[in-house]
A and B are shown apart, each in its own frame.
Chain A
Amino acid sequence: MKREPPQSIADYGPLFFPAGMLLIFFVVPFGTMIAVSFFQRQEGGFYTPAFVFSNYERFLTAFFGGVLGFSLMLAVTVAICCVVLALPFTYLLSRLTRRLQVIWLVGLLSVLSLSEVIIGFAWSTLLSRTAGLSNLLVKIGLLEQPVALFPSFGAVLTGMVYQALPYTILVLYPAIVRLDPTLMEAARTLGSSPIRAFFNVLVPALRNTIMATLIMVFIFALGSYLLPQILGRPQHWTLSVLITDQAIYQSNMPFAAAMAVFLVLVTLGLVALTLLIGRKGEKA
């Protein structure tokens, strides 16, 4: 069937609803935030409409640069860990029987029902000295005495990977299931070991999916602000934590907005860069 290009306004009708939603729930709030980021902060009070750059100036220091750098590094690390763990897992999952796959997927989906707070507190208990996993290690003689494994960078990373892993698997799953199984069979027939086939055939075939997944997990992890607080020390706090401090505790909306705008711009820039590099790589 040939698709007709839209002829009248009515043909565009189905677009109005999503466009309206996007306008109301994204464009308007984001526009407001950009506007507020240029407002004048009144110390000891609120803010007044103005057009000043002082909020951005305050952000442009080595201190906030360091925090931003850490947030980006953390998000990238989480994204890489998630994909490295999820890719082989999802591939093995796709080779199970339908019934087992459903059980696994339901289990993964149920993890999504946990709130960030519950995940944070659960991991802080698991990693504690008094009740945590290290007590098990002492029981089986691997450790002298129980140790506290949080707050630390490892704890933050563990919590965030745990939280993002189900999303990663759910994004990778359809692509891997749809992948032509004969590709792997051909590789095996031609004498490739399973591991070699996985890296030389499956991974390149899923290049775009993997890239998209990395970007999705990266952005997901960048917004995290509860887990770094619960499982990390202050040097592991992300920019989102500082934004919350400014907005809620200091009622410094202009500065909070400026930081948020900056974070969004840097994120978009990085995503664009990644896609650009990806496209160049394809041409080559």
Chain B
Amino acid sequence: MDTFLKKSISRRTVLGAGVMGAAVLAMPNILRAQDKSLKVGVYGGYFKDSFDKNIFPEFTKATGIAVESVAEPTGEAWLVQLEQAAKAGAAPADVSMMSQVAMLKGQTTKLWTPLDLAKIPNSKNLIDRFVNKYPDGSVAGIGAVSWYITLVTNTDVYKEAPTSWAAFWDKANADKLGLLALVSNSFLLEITAKTFFGSTNALDTEEGLLKAFDKLAEVKPNVRLWYRDEAQFEQSLKSGEIPMGQYYHDVTGLAASEGHPVRSTFPKEGGVQDSGCWALSRASKKVDEAHIFIDYMSQPAIQATLSRKVGTSPTVKRELLDLSDKEFAAVSSDIEPIIPRYDLYTTKSDWLNQKWTELIVG
């Protein structure tokens, strides 16, 4: 997704967050008028705006629970805030949308209240991998939305769409690629493993990881831009300055529909599917409301609305959705996706980060 992965933090964002924080502090007085309420953390910007407009009012109408949405920063800053607030017995948000790595990190400190699936009947609609579990099998979080990173190209420069991630390794593409700059958001190790070593299981051992790093090193001469900020790459892709790379499927589709010469392709090895979970802070007292909310969000109809209005890929099974083929293709694909190895980013994060930085900087 475009906006909610935007991770650079400017002074303005900090000031904005301060103002928003003050506004949030002033809120409870207003909310007391309502009987039931729930504070929900969603990524700030486009994402929060879309939820505020398309999802939350309907939820309040259906359940009588008022939603106070809280803009959460991306990256792991929000996890740190939730953790520190929980230690003090406070919850800046009851339910938050969390990245998979943040879910795992929160698990280590038992930050997430285990969810009772009996109270979330709609959880049976979900694709299995979107139920996030503690090692003991209790449920830590429920898939909220997902999105794809795919192979994108400029249609003026590449008349034919590439069919495989292997195009990144093609010598003909020297100095033409734009790739994400961090090991934990580009998922290039997973892409390498799936494309050249069969599956991401090849990353199970340190040996396998080193092999993937070696293979990935061959891509380096082809890379013109390692980007952290999406706007940087999107602009260059549209103009043809950097005509190939990895990018978000939905945003690329949006740009193409606006007439820009870009296309997003699901390679035959699959697009990378990343996702966010709904998770309940252990400091929250709104356990019942949270279950009602998560259950509501797991309905096929709501997931379809999210796909149409927000551009996210559904977390429930395809056959339950009333999305047309075209609508589904706009946000997803039937090709088996590459699922990131989130476990690696908690157990080996420093080692991976060090190797990665040495690979691209060195």
Contacts and interface: CB of A to CB of B under 8 A. Distances in A.
Given A44-B104, A128-B239, A242-B357, A249 B182 contact: yes
Given A44-B347, A130-B239, A130-B241, A248 B75 contact: yes
Given A117-B10, A130-B239, A151-B225, A252 B350 contact: yes
A43 B236 CA distance: 36
Interface in B347-362: 347-350, 353-354, 357-358, 360-362
B232 A45 contact: no
Interface stretch (A21-29, A32-40, A230-238): A230-238
A249 B75 contact: yes
Interface in B307-352: 346-350
A151 to B, nearest CB: 7
A131 interface: yes
A229 B228 CA distance: 8
A80 interface: no
A12 interface: no
B72 to A, nearest CB: 14
Contact of A67 (B105, B353, B360, B361): B361
A250 B353 contact: yes
B20 interface: no
B172 interface: no
Given A242-B357, A250-B350, A46 B224 contact: no
A245 B239 contact: no
A261 B295 CA distance: 48
Contact of B350 (A41, A237, A249): A41
Contacts of A245: 182, 353, 357
Contacts of A16: none
B interface, size bucket: 35 or more
A234 B241 contact: no
B257 interface: no
A151 B109 contact: no
B60 interface: no
Contact of A251 (B9, B80, B104, B229): B80
Interface in B104-126: 104-105, 108-109
Contacts of A252: 350, 353
Contacts of B24: none
B76 interface: yes
Contact of B241 (A117, A129, A230): A129
Contacts of A237: 361
A44 B108 contact: yes
Interface residues of A, number: 32
Given A129-B241, A151-B224, A249-B75, A45 B108 contact: yes
A229 B227 CA distance: 8
A46 B346 contact: no
A45 B80 CA distance: 9
B240 interface: yes
A128 B241 contact: yes
Nearest to B353: A250
Contacts of A124: 232
Nearest to A67: B361
Interface in A92-143: 117, 121, 124, 128-131
A234 B361 contact: yes
Contact of B77 (A66, A67, A130, A248): A248
Contacts of A235: 361-362
A171 interface: no
Q: Which of A63, A151, A250 counts the most chain B CB atoms within 10 A?
A: A250
B47 interface: no
A54 B224 CA distance: 34
Q: Which of B105, B182, B357 counts the most chain A CB atoms within 10 A?
A: B357
A70 to B, nearest CB: 9
Interface string B51-63: 0000000000000
A148 interface: yes
Given A63-B362, A245-B182, A249-B75, A130 B240 contact: yes
Contacts of B361: 63, 67, 234-235, 237, 242
B134 interface: no
Nearest to B348: A43
B171 interface: no
Given A248-B9, A251-B80, A43 B239 contact: no
Given A248-B75, A249-B184, A251-B76, A44 B224 contact: no
B226 interface: yes
A237 B83 CA distance: 32
Interface in B91-147: 104-105, 108-109
B75 A45 contact: no
A249 B7 contact: yes
Given A45-B105, A249-B184, 5 more contacts: A43-B347, A229-B229, A234-B360, A242-B361, A251-B80
9 contacts: A121-B232, A130-B240, A230-B229, A234-B361, A242-B361, A245-B357, A248-B75, A249-B76, A249-B185
Interface of A: 41, 43-46, 58, 63, 66-67, 117, 121, 124, 128-131, 148, 151, 229-230, 233-235, 237, 242, 245-246, 248-252
Interface of B: 7, 9-10, 75-77, 79-80, 83, 104-105, 108-109, 181-182, 184-185, 224-226, 228-229, 232, 236, 239-241, 346-350, 353-354, 357-358, 360-362
